[in-house]
Amino acid sequence: MRMLSFDKSGYLFIKSLINPNTGLISGIEGDVLTTVYKNALVAMAFIHQEDQVDTERIFNNFQKYYLRNKADFHGFPQTWNVETGLPDTGSIHWEADSALLLLALNYYHQKMGSSKQYGNLVQEILAWLAHQANLCDLIMAEGVAEMYAALALFSGNHDIRKSLMRLRQCFYGSEKICSADYHHNLNHIVHGALVFGDSSGFKYLPDFVRSETWKYNESIKITACSAFSTDHIIDVGMSAQVLLALKILSKQKNASFQKIGLRGELEKLFLTGKQDHEAKGLPYCVSSHGSSQSCRCPALEPTCYLLFYYWDFNPLAPGEQVPG
């Protein structure tokens, strides 16, 4: 049996999550519900690999929703049904999801050379996010950073530049509800790095490092990162994002940061997919408590972020070239 490198087996795993009816992507095998965020993340992976067909199948679901609701469009519901290609009843509209979709659509335009069929959709998402920037005090800091990343693509517009100033102030303003908390929230450190090029949060990484026995295989002990400084569970997706952020900033700034051996630790966690014996992914978490599905099944987001690490690809600045 041939052994594939993880950048190939991980990509096969992501492809195995495609729903044949709609083209939307499940978070784990067998999930019916998904999010705009997950699908935008995978769309960027597909674009990176020049898979135009699967990219457009994802986009077309959101294009159809926009065309049905363009008279009163205010972003996308967060949660969707992969079987029907329709939003889940009662799903909230979350700015971060629409921002990541806008990033993916713009990356598609850069990489594939044309996005005429999605041009009106891009403009409507842009307008909605610019409006929501006025309310950024009430939006979580990581969402604010992703809005900034998406709107920064259009910074030639004067009104957009004002929105960007507002969003940056929200992310860093100590009096704001949404302001980043580098002491306790690893997601904020990662977003500060990948969006703003801010490496100052890396000094707090030791506060998030944990060692846990993997309940799936109790002979394996993993040292990686929790999502919050008070958590004990290892968040594999956040750990992969830290790995990515450290790599990208070390190249952009020609600097070295404290090494915590994350790559080797995460590569101990590969799990084979059920549908394809050559497909492998990472679980959501590592915990010595219980045997939840999150620790025992390969999942989309951590797998995606490890692939991005191998590719030197920043999904929050997908058009930028990372120095070699």
pLDDT tens figures, 77-135: 999 999 999 999 888 889 999 999 999 999 999 998 766 789 999 999 999 999 999 98
pLDDT class of 1 with cuts at 50, 70, 90: very low
pTM above 0.75, yes or no: yes
Q: What is the mean pLDDT of the chain?
A: 90
- Residue 90's pLDDT is what? 83
SS3 category, 43: helix
Model pLDDT for residues 191-215, shown as the tens digit of each residue: 999 999 999 999 999 999 999 988 7
Distance from C-alpha of 124 to C-alpha of 144, rounded to nearest angstrom: 18
- Residue 127's pLDDT is what? 95
27 pairs with which residues across the strands?
none
> What are the residue boundaries of the structural domains of the chain, listed by start?
32-179, 180-317
